[in-house]
Chain A
Amino acid sequence: MKIGIKIMPREVILDSQGRAVEQSMKMNGFSEVQDCRIGKYVEMNLSLEDKEAAKLQVEKMLKEGGLYNPLIEKFEIQLM
């Protein structure tokens, strides 16, 4: 089954990349942009059918496999 993982910088982290994109958008006339944060999205295909089992494995990858860094990031698992 396919699984998605959204990884974002935690709010306390000053996201310089997001800030640079925000400034660029404003410069291009998109003055409605108030805040922009940039993270990453990981898509995985797992040889598992059970959604709960897949979620458990992905949580293990996040925590033990180094897929995210809890000091600076937060994650959200999206089952598809």
Chain B
Amino acid sequence: MALKVGITRFLGTNCDEDIRKWVLSKNHQAEYLWYEDRFDVNSYDMVILPGGFSHGDYLRCGALAAHTPLMKSVKEFAEKGKPVLGICNGFQILCEAGLLPGALLRNDSLRFKDELTTLTFKNTNNPFSKNAKTDQKIVLPIAHGEGHFYADSENLKKITDNQQVWLTYDQNPNGSLLNIAGVLNAQKNVCGLMPHPERALHTWMGSTDGEFFL
């Protein structure tokens, strides 16, 4: 079934075109959503927040984007239980907006990490792991300076107990607690990850494991 997918665009979003092509390749419809505008939550089946450096990464990564009119609609959309995916900066925005638990801090090495990583699916009971099995290993590229997942011990316990850990790194590249590379909200309809599935869709990209997500 062809889905109507909304793709968010903030100032400084830069993976939007890759996401659009990925969505179109699945025979879905793709439409951009501008950060200053609200949208009708009934008009879309899925929303994806691409990566980039929204609003210059000023204040904190994702903080300014999280407080835009567009995100009010994304919150409303998520509250209806509809699927929302945030990749890299999109993940940071979802955390800052309170749609996902935790926060993303500077990599513990202080370095921008740009490499292929091996990940493990910890939970596939969500709209963006349909083609994957639990404990399955995949390879995806990362490209971030602030991907160190942090939550206090109380929230970390909640995340674990409630099976909200989506993906973990086999070799931790950034200091993320519990090696977390991706998390889910309690309802499992909002999903965020630092690696880029849209950059792993053809053999020449180094991996085709992005196919597990959409």
Contacts and interface: CB of A to CB of B under 8 A. Distances in A.
- Is the interface on chain A under 10, 10 to 19, 20 to 34, or 35 or more residues? 10 to 19
Q: Is the interface of A mostly helix, strand, loop or mixed?
A: loop
Interface string B116-154: 000000000000000000000000000000000011100
A12 interface: yes
Interface in B26-57: none
A9 B146 CA distance: 15
A67 interface: yes
Contact of A71 (B64, B67, B108, B150): B150
B66 A71 contact: no
Contacts, number: 36
B11 interface: no
Given A12-B152, A13-B150, A69 B107 contact: no
B110 A69 contact: no
- Is the interface on chain B under 10, 10 to 19, 20 to 34, or 35 or more residues? 20 to 34
A66 B63 contact: yes
Contacts of A12: 152
16 contacts: A13-B105, A14-B175, A16-B106, A16-B107, A16-B108, A16-B109, A16-B110, A16-B175, A17-B110, A65-B67, A66-B63, A66-B64, A66-B96, A69-B103, A71-B103, A72-B103
Interface of B: 59-60, 63-64, 66-67, 96, 102-103, 105-110, 150-152, 155, 175
